Amino acid sequence: MTDRPHHRNDSSQVKDLMQFEDPNPCDKCGQHKREQNGKESSSQAGHSSSSSSTSPSSSRAGGCRQEEKDEPVRTKKDEPVRTKKDEPAMTRRDEQGATRRDEPGATRRDEQGATRRDEQGATRRDEPGTTRRDEQGATRRDEQGATWRDHGSSSCCQLDDLKRLPQCNRKLGRLDFSRTHTVLVDVDAFNNGGGLRAQSGRDIWHNNFVKMPSSPSSFAVVKTGFTKTPTKVRRWEEISKHLKGLAKKTTVSVNDVEEAIIKCNPKYKDQWSFDALSIFVKCIPKTENYFPALFPKIAALALKLPDYVNKAIPLLQRGKHASITLSQGQIACLLANAFFCTFPHRNATNPNAEYHNYPTINFTSLFGKWSERKKEKLRAIMHYFKEVTGENSKPTGLVTFERRCLRDTDISTWRNCKEKMSKLHVASHGTIETEGTGMLQVDFACNMIGGGVLGAGLVQEEILFLINPELIVSRLFTEKLDDNECLIITGSQQFSRYSGFGDTFEWAGPHVDRLQRDEWGRRQRQILAIDALHFRHSREQYSMTKVTRELNKAYCGFKADRNDEPDIATGKWGCGAFHGDSQLKAVIQLMAAAKARRGLAFFTFQDEPLKRDLQEIHHLLLSEGATVGKLFELLEDYCSEQDRKTAHVDLFDFIRNRYKPSRSHL
Residues with catalytic function: 443, 461-462
> Contact 161/105 with Cβ under 8 angstroms?
no
C-alpha span between 458 and 467 (Å, rounded)? 12
Report which secondary-structure segment, H or E, holds 498.
strand 496-499
DSSP class per residue in 419-465: PBP--EEEESS--TTTTTTTSEEEEE--SSTTTTTTSS--SHHHHHH
Residues 24, 534 contacting (CB under 8 angstroms): no
Sign, Cα dihedral of 284, 286, 290, 296: positive
Question: What's the gap between Cα 411 and its chain centre?
Answer: 23
Q: Are strands 424-427 and 90-93 parallel, antiparallel or unpaired?
A: unpaired
Give the phi and the psi of residue 223 in degrees, each rounded to 5.
-95, 125
Q: Is 197 exposed, middle or buried (0-12, 13-18, 19+ CB in 10 A)?
A: middle
> β-strands 181-183, 600-603: how paired?
unpaired
Check: CB of residue 469 under 8 Å from CB of residue 454: no
What is the C-alpha to C-alpha distance for residues 274 and 482, in angstroms, rounded to an integer? 34
Q: Which residues contact 431 (CB under 8 A, 6 or more apart)?
A: 9, 45, 46, 47, 48, 56, 57, 58, 603, 605
Chain centroid, CA 129 distance in Å: 38
Residues 335 and 476: their CA atoms lie apart, in Å, by 9
Classify each residue of 311-326 as buried b or exposed e, where b means 16 or more C-beta atoms within 10 Å of its C-beta.
Answer: bbbbbbbeeeebbbbb
- Whether 280 contacts 375, CB under 8 Å: yes
Q: CA-to-CA distance for 2 and 274, rounded, in angstroms?
A: 34
317, 318, 319, 321 alpha-carbon torsion, rounded to 10°: 40
